[in-house]
Structure 1
Amino acid sequence: MRQYKYLLTICYFIAFFNCEEEKKTVFSEINITTENNSLVEVNIPEANGNKIVSNQINNKIQNTVISALHIGNPDEITSASIEESITAFNNEFKVFKTDFPESSQLWEAQIDGEIIHQSSELISIALTSYTNTGGAHGILNISFLNFDSKTGQSLKNNQLFSDVDAFKEVAKPYFNKVLTEKNIILDNTLFQLPANIGYTEDGIVLLYNTYEVAPYSDGIIEFAIPYDEVEDYLVFNSL
C-alpha cells in the first residue's frame, strides 16, 4: 500500500508538470504609468500561462519599451523597469524646460503593442513607438518581436528561415515593386532583409523603418509575402 501511494505521488507530479508545459500562452493588454506622469502612454500585451514561457516574452517586451523610452546613448540605459523609464522620460523633460524655459515644445511618447500572429509554434508581436523630444519631428518606430511558442525564446531573424538566401531571392521582387510604387530610387543591387520580419495573417511581413534604407520623407517601407511562396524556407509553421 505504501508503495502504491508513492507511485500515485510520482504520477501526480508528472501530470502537474506536463500540464504546466502544455499550458497555452494567453495575452491581456496592460497600461503602465507612474505617479505624476503626463507625457508617456504605454499599452502593451502581457503574456500569461506557463511561467517560464511568459516571463521570457514579458521580459523581452519590457526591454524593448525601456529602450524606446531611453534618451541618449543606448549603451547607457540604467532603468530596470518600464516605470523607471517613464519617470526618467518625464524628468528629462523637466530638465529641458529648466534649460529652455521659453520653449513651447511639448514632449510625448506613445507605445502600443499587439499580437499579430500566434500559432502552436510561433508568436509575433508588433510594438509601435512614437516619441517626440523637441526635434523637427517625432520618431516613429515599429519593432517585430518573434518568440518560440513552446519555450518563449526570443528569435533572431536568421532563426526564422532554413535558407535565408533563398528567401531573399523571393523577397527582392516585392521590395523592388514597393520602391517603384513609391517612386523611391535606391541601389537595389544591395538588397538586404530588414531588421523587422514577422508572421501575420497575410504572410511574412518585412518592414523597413524610417531611415533604415531610405530618407525620412519616404516613410516606412512594408510588404507581405504569402506563406505559400516561402513555406519551403520557413523553420516555423504558420498554422
Structure 2
Amino acid sequence: MLARVTLLAVSVLLVSGCKLELPILGGSNISGPLQVENVVFERAGGPQCPGATETTPENVRCANLRLTYPKVLTAGSPQAAAAINQFIQEQVLEYSDPQGKAPTTPDEFSSMFVNDYNEVPDAMGVWEMERKVEVSFASDHLLTLNFSESGYTGGAHPFSGQRYFVLDLDSGKHLALNALLAPNYEAELNKVGERAFRKERNLPEAASLEEAGFWFANNSFKVNTNFGVLKDSLVFNFNAYEVAPYAMGPTEFTVSYDDIKAFIPEAGLLAAVAR
C-alpha cells in the first residue's frame, strides 16, 4: 500500500553560492551593498510520480513544487539583511493547511502541497507550483524584488502572476509609494501612468477603458500598489483578472522619473536613483 505522502528520492535541494545578477528589465541594475546567493528547492510527491516504478504518462499522479529565491548575505546592516531574508521567506512560504497552519520551512510547504493533492480523490496528472523571487534592482539604499508564481492545481486555467516589492536596504522595511514620493503625488502619477498604460495596450487617448475591456472604477485609471523601483523608472504590473479578463493577460508598464520629478523629494530615498 502506498504511503499517503511520498517524497521521491529523486527530489533535490540545491544551494549555490553565486551572486545574483538577474535584472528583470534592461541593463545592469544591481549595485550597492547587496550580496546574495541563490537557493533552489524542488520536491515532488504523490501516489505515482515520474521516475517511480510503473509510472507512465497515462497514470502519472504527482505534485511538484519548485522554489527559487535569494538569500541575502550582505545588505546595509546585518539587521536589514535578516529582515529582508524574513520578508522573502514570508512571500515564498505563503500557504496554509486546512487548519490554517502556515509552513515555516520549504519542506513543510512541500508536504502541505502534496497532502492537498492527495486529498483530491480524482486528481489525475500533475499539480505544479513554481515560485521565484529575483532581484530586479539594487542601489545603495533601495532594493526591488520581483515575486512570480505559476502552476496548475486543477480548474479551467493554469495560474500565474507577479508582484514587485521595494525594500529599504538600511532597515529591511517594505516601502509603499508614499514613502518614496511627495504628498499629493497621486493625481499626477495616475495621469502619467495612464499614458504609459495606454501606450502599452495600444489604446488611443480618447478610447474608453471600459469599452476596451478594462475594469477601473468609474472608468477612471488608477495605478495599483504592485510597483518596483528601477534604474530610470517605476515599473507597475496589473496581473491577469485584476483589471481585465483572463484572456487579455497582464499589463506591465513603466513611468519615467523625468515625468514625476516634481514629486521626488530631494532628500528622499528615491532621489539618488532618479538623478
TM-score range, shorter chain: 0.7 to 0.9
Tell me what 1:32 maps to. Answer: 41
Tell me what 1:56 maps to. Answer: 83
TM-score, length of structure 2 as denominator length: 0.68
User: Residues of 1 paired with 2:37 and 2:151: CA distance?
Assistant: 24
What is the CA distance between 1:229 and its match in structure 2? 1.6
TM-score, length of structure 1 as denominator length: 0.77
Give matches, 1:133-144, under 5 Å.
Answer: 133-144=153-164
Judged with a 3 Å threshold, the aligned counterparts in structure 2 of structure 1 residues 40 and 159 are, in CA distance, closer, same or farther, namely same
User: Residues of 2 paired with 1:187 and 1:134: CA distance?
Assistant: 26
Judged with a 3 Å threshold, the aligned counterparts in structure 2 of structure 1 residues 184 and 84 are, in CA distance, closer, same or farther, namely farther
Tell me what 2:180 maps to. Answer: 160
1:177 aligns with 2:202: no
1:92 aligns with 2:92: no
Give the partner amino acid of 1:80: T
* Secondary structure of the corresponding residue to residue 87 of structure 1: helix
* Secondary structure of the corresponding residue to residue 156 of structure 2: coil
User: Residues of 1 paired with 2:236 and 2:221: CA distance?
Assistant: 13
1:107 aligns with 2:127: yes
State how many pairs are aligned: 210
Give the partner amino acid of 2:224: P
Which has a greater percent of helix? Answer: 1
Give the partner amino acid of 1:91: N
What is the CA distance between 1:110 and its match in structure 2? 0.9
The alignment-based identity, stated in percent, is 21
User: Residues of 2 paired with 1:181 and 1:215: CA distance?
Assistant: 17
Give the partner amino acid of 2:41: I
Q: Unaligned regions of 5+ residues in structure 2, if any?
A: 1-31, 47-62, 205-210
Given that 1:116 and 1:201 are in contact with CA atoms closer than 8 Å, whether structure 2 keeps it comes out as: no
Give the partner amino acid of 2:248: D
Tell me what 2:29 maps to. Answer: none
Moved more, 130-139 or 169-178: 169-178
What is the CA distance between 1:168 and its match in structure 2? 2.0
Give the partner amino acid of 1:40: L
Given that 2:215 and 2:243 are in contact with CA atoms closer than 8 Å, whether structure 1 keeps it comes out as: no
Judged with a 3 Å threshold, the aligned counterparts in structure 2 of structure 1 residues 122 and 190 are, in CA distance, closer, same or farther, namely same
Judged with a 3 Å threshold, the aligned counterparts in structure 2 of structure 1 residues 184 and 201 are, in CA distance, closer, same or farther, namely farther
- 2:72 pairs with one of 24, 38, 47: 47
What is the CA distance between 1:225 and its match in structure 2? 1.5
